[in-house]
Amino acid sequence: MLAGIACCVAPLSPLPAGAAAKVIHAFRGGDDGENPYAGLIADDAGDLYGTTDGGGQSGCCGTVFKLTNDRTESVLYAFKGGSDGSDPDGALMLDASGNLYGTTLFGGGGTGCDNGSNGCGTVFKLAPDGTETVLHAFQGGSDGWQPGSNIVMDQSGDLYGTTGAGGTGCGSQGCGTVFEVQPNGTKITLHQFQDGADGAIPTGPLIVDSAGNLYGTTLGGGGCSLYQGGCGTVFELTQGGQESILYAFQGGTDGLGPLGGVIMDGAGNLYGTTGAGGAESCCGVVFEVPAGGGSETVLYSFRGGHDGANPYAGVVRDVKGNLYGTTKVGGGSGTGCKRVYFGDGCGTVFKLTPTGEETVLAHFYKKHGRLPEAPLLLGKNGELYGTTIEGGKFNLGVVFKVKK
Q: Residue 7's pLDDT is what? A: 37
Map residue 196 onto helix, strand or coil: helix
Model confidence pLDDT, tens digit, residues 351-372: 999 999 999 999 998 899 999 9
Amino acid at 163: T
Q: Is 349 left (phi over 0), alpha (psi -120 to 50) or beta?
A: beta
Tell me the mean pLDDT in the region 100-112: 94
Which domain covers residue 161, as residue numbers? Answer: 2-16+37-306
Pairing between β-strand 243-248 and β-strand 377-378 as defined by DSSP bridges = unpaired
**Is 268 inside any structural domain?**
yes
**Is 198 inside any structural domain?**
yes
Q: With residue 208 as reference, give the H or E element that holds it.
A: strand 207-208
Rounded CA separation 396/391 (Å): 6
pLDDT at 344 over 90: no
Q: Residue 13's pLDDT is what? A: 40
For the chain, how many structural domains are there in total? 1
Model confidence pLDDT, tens digit, residues 123-151: 999 999 999 999 999 999 999 999 999 99
**Is 350 inside any structural domain?**
no
- Among the residue ranges 17-21, 63-67, 253-257, 346-350, the one predicted with the least confidence is 17-21
**Is 182 inside any structural domain?**
yes
Model confidence pLDDT, tens digit, residues 20-65: 889 999 999 999 999 999 999 999 999 999 999 999 987 789 999 9
CB 85 within 8 Å of CB 108: yes
**Is 383 inside any structural domain?**
no
In this structure, what CATH number is given to the domain that contains residue 75? 2.120.10.30
Average pLDDT, the chain: 91
Sheet-wide strand order for 177-181:
152-153, 159-163, 177-181, 187-192
**Is 404 inside any structural domain?**
no
pLDDT at 17 over 60: no
Paired residues of 270 in beta bridges? 264, 289
Q: 89: closest CA among 72, 76, 103? A: 103
**Is 202 inside any structural domain?**
yes
* pLDDT band at 343; cut points 50, 70, 90: low
**Is 324 inside any structural domain?**
no
- Among the residue ranges 104-108, 136-140, 145-149, 278-282, the one predicted with the least confidence is 278-282
